[in-house]
């Protein structure tokens, strides 16, 4: 066991402003933009400012992700879409689970937008320690407590 000392990040968020995604989007005829918070005005995301901006989004589609299975406005040319901008090709990585693998965390972008990987791991280990101090340790309940702690 590593007790959380080694964290392997197995994926990256597919956000339009990720350099690789940005290049791919623009090379395929799409664009990336941001809106000012509380405003419908589209601004060039390359302009530096202290104004608060919303998430980066792609055109066509107005989505804040650069990969998805389907969105008719983003993909269908009859609806103004471009099937080469919003793609569904996944990144696939494989790894070996060994005796040193403590656990695997799967989560949606909403979790990882609020917490860093290390914060999640630390939260799990702290919750696990607290749960093991209980007189009747239940592994299933401990995992539930870990999930609750992350969501809080």
pLDDT digits (tens, 9 = 90+) for 51-63: 678 889 999 999 9
Is the pLDDT confidence value at 98 over 80?
A: yes
Burial pattern 31-51, b for ≥16 Cβ within 10 A else e, equals bbbbbeeeeeeeeebeeeeee
**Are 23 and 67 in a shared domain?**
yes
Q: Tell me which residue range forms the domain holding 118.
A: 109-151
**Are 36 and 74 in a shared domain?**
yes
> What's the DSSP call for residue 139?
H
Does 98 reside within a domain? no
- Model pLDDT, residue 44: 54
Q: CA triplet 147, 151, 152: central angle to 5 degrees?
A: 115
Using the 3D structure, point to which of 61, 79, 97 is the last residue of a domain.
79
Name the pLDDT band for 11 (thresholds 50, 70, 90): confident
CA 66, 72, 73, 76 dihedral sign is positive
Does 67 reside within a domain? yes
Is the pLDDT confidence value at 133 over 70?
A: yes
Does 43 reside within a domain? yes
CB contact set of 149 (below 8 Å; sequence gap of 6+) = 123, 124, 126, 127
**Are 125 and 73 in a shared domain?**
no
**Are 75 and 116 in a shared domain?**
no
pTM over 0.85: no
124 C-beta neighbours (distance < 10 Å), count: 21
**Are 24 and 66 in a shared domain?**
yes
Using the 3D structure, point to which of 58, 79, 100 is the last residue of a domain.
79
- Residue 44 φ then ψ, to 5°: -70, 125
Does 1 reside within a domain? no
Give CA torsion, residues 70, 74, 80, 85, to 10 deg.
-110
Does 40 reside within a domain? yes
The count of structural domains within the chain is: 2
Does 74 reside within a domain? yes
Contact by Cβ (8 Å): 12, 18: yes
Using the 3D structure, point to which of 79, 95, 124 is the last residue of a domain.
79
Does 99 reside within a domain? no
Does 95 reside within a domain? no
């Amino acid at each position: 066991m590593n007790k959380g000392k080694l964290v392997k990040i197995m994926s990256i968020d597919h956000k339009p402003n990720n350099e690789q995604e940005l290049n791919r989007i623009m090379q395929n005829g799409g664009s990336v933009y941001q809106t000012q918070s509380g405003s419908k005005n589209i601004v060039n995301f390359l302009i530096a400012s202290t104004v608060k901006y919303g998430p980066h989004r792609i055109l066509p589609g107005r989505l804040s992700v650069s990969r998805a299975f389907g969105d008719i406005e983003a993909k269908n040319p009859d609806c103004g879409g471009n099937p080469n901008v919003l793609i569904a090709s996944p990144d696939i990585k494989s790894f070996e689970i060994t005796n040193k693998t403590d656990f695997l965390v799967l989560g949606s972008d909403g979790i990882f937008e609020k917490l860093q990987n290390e914060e999640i791991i630390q939260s799990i280990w702290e919750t696990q320690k607290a749960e093991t101090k209980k007189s009747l340790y239940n592994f299933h309940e401990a995992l539930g407590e870990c999930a609750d702690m992350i969501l809080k």
